[in-house]
Amino acid sequence: MAIQNPHWYQRLYWRIWLTVLALVLVLAGGIAALWRVDIDRDRSDRTSRELVVRGPDGAVVGEAKFRRPRPHEREDSSDDDHHQGSAHHMRPPPFFELTLTDGRQLSIELSPFARGDARPTGVDLWRTLMRWLAQPTGWIALLLTLTALVALMAYPVVRRLTARLERLQRGVEAWGEGDLSTRLLTDGHDEVAFLARQFNRSAARVEAAAVARKALLANASHELRSPLARIKMSLALLPPVSDGGGRAAHDEITQSIDELDALIGEILLASRLDHDPQSIGIPVPVDLSGLLGIECARLGLEPEMESGVLVKGNEALLVRLIRNLLENAIRHGRQQKNDKVGDAAPRVGVTLARDLAKGQVVLRVADNGPGVPMAYRERIFEPFFRLPGASERDGGVGLGLALVKTIAHAHGASVACVEPPTGRGATFEVVWSI
């Protein structure tokens, strides 16, 4: 079963990127809060400053505290002040009210720097910026600006890292689906590149082992046919057996040889298709209903099917698929109580229909036998697998359904053991897309 891809918000690069942004927000927010506290404290310190005037003898002749200019005092600024720039109007110079010991009141104002002074003009811009940042909207704007910059710079880095992980994921998925030739890019020298190299080494070893196993199985099966052919020829050249016991032994040997020959043929066919699925040749339209009718007539079955059902593929392989399904159903089906053994074929239901709504062709073969437990409905398609309790007397060696699955996949179809509609027996479905 294919693994469902994660949603966009579950992607690794989104998680890393959002984590970086969250950390930046927390860090910048903490710095801005501390900065605001420091500005407020500095303002408090400025408003508490005092001016002390002493005479020649060192005695205090007057004291004054810092006071901000009143609105009408700001408007009375001279024309020269208007020419100092907008920065001076935004922040008036420091202002003190001095009370002398003799009771006189004096006003002291520290004049701003003139244009010709040595003070750099950048200081005014810096103070203007600081005053703007001291406002709530100022530091919030700074926080958002820093976050945007970090987001723009972090996204390409994070995306490049996770893109390599996604390539690794796609390669593992393709390899897990059966494409053993899948290999990954090994660019870089980090952990991702190391993992890709290790995957390539493991995939190469598994592919080599699989190829060697298939080659051994195919070669062994091919070599078995030569001595099998000599045995059949020697058996045919023996004098006829007249007694009943010898004749029965002769027939049993002949039947065993035929079964062995059929087994070797299935092994060779399965190995060829498994090694090269393209060996079926160029797919051509095949009348599936015609093939099914011929095979059912040969086995004495009456199918329910539509006429003129066409699929693309190899006719000989499709005949083998249908024959294996029908013979498997006949082997495991049960006769009715009123039937005598050998009088009628086991009860088998065969249907072939088009599902135009889904764009499918469905072949269904059902029997009324003991059925297949749910836990084994996928394993029965494995080569040489038999249900618990099955014996050689039941017939078959566990390759028929495995070959059905191989042929179906080679034709772009799917096969499954599904829940029988009647609740009894086993039902197999082969589905082609049209």
268-300 pLDDT per residue, tens: 777 767 666 666 667 889 999 999 999 999 998
pTM: predicted TM-score of the whole model, two decimal places: 0.51
Check residue 188 and give its pLDDT: 73
Long-range contacts of 2-6 (CB under 8 A, 24+ apart): 2/173, 2/177, 3/173
374-394 pLDDT per residue, tens: 888 998 988 878 787 665 555
Write down the residue that tokens 């996770």 correspond to: 162
386 neighbors 372 (Cβ within 8 angstroms) = no
In the chain, what are the domains? 12-112+119-152 (no CATH), 180-275 (1.10.287.130), 282-433 (3.30.565.10)
In sequence order, what are the residues at sequence separation of 6 or more whose Cβ sits closer than 8 angstroms to the Cβ of residue 81?
88, 89, 112
Q: Are strands 348-355 and 304-305 parallel, antiparallel or unpaired?
A: parallel
Percent of the chain with pLDDT over 70: 71
Check residue 166 and give its pLDDT: 84
Check residue 172 and give its pLDDT: 87
Q: Are strands 284-287 and 304-305 parallel, antiparallel or unpaired?
A: unpaired
Check residue 277 and give its pLDDT: 61
402 neighbors 408 (Cβ within 8 angstroms) = no
In sequence order, what are the residues at sequence separation of 6 or more whose Cβ sits closer than 8 angstroms to the Cβ of residue 100?
53, 61, 62, 106
Phi first, then psi, for residue 328 (nearest 5°) are -65, -40
Check residue 9 and give its pLDDT: 64
Check residue 296 and give its pLDDT: 93
Neighbours of 197 (CB within 10 A): 12
Mean pLDDT (10-residue bins), the chain, 434 residues: 57 74 76 69 61 77 67 48 44 68 75 52 62 70 78 78 82 82 81 85 87 72 75 80 72 79 74 65 87 92 91 88 91 59 63 90 91 89 78 63 88 91 88 89
Check residue 289 and give its pLDDT: 93
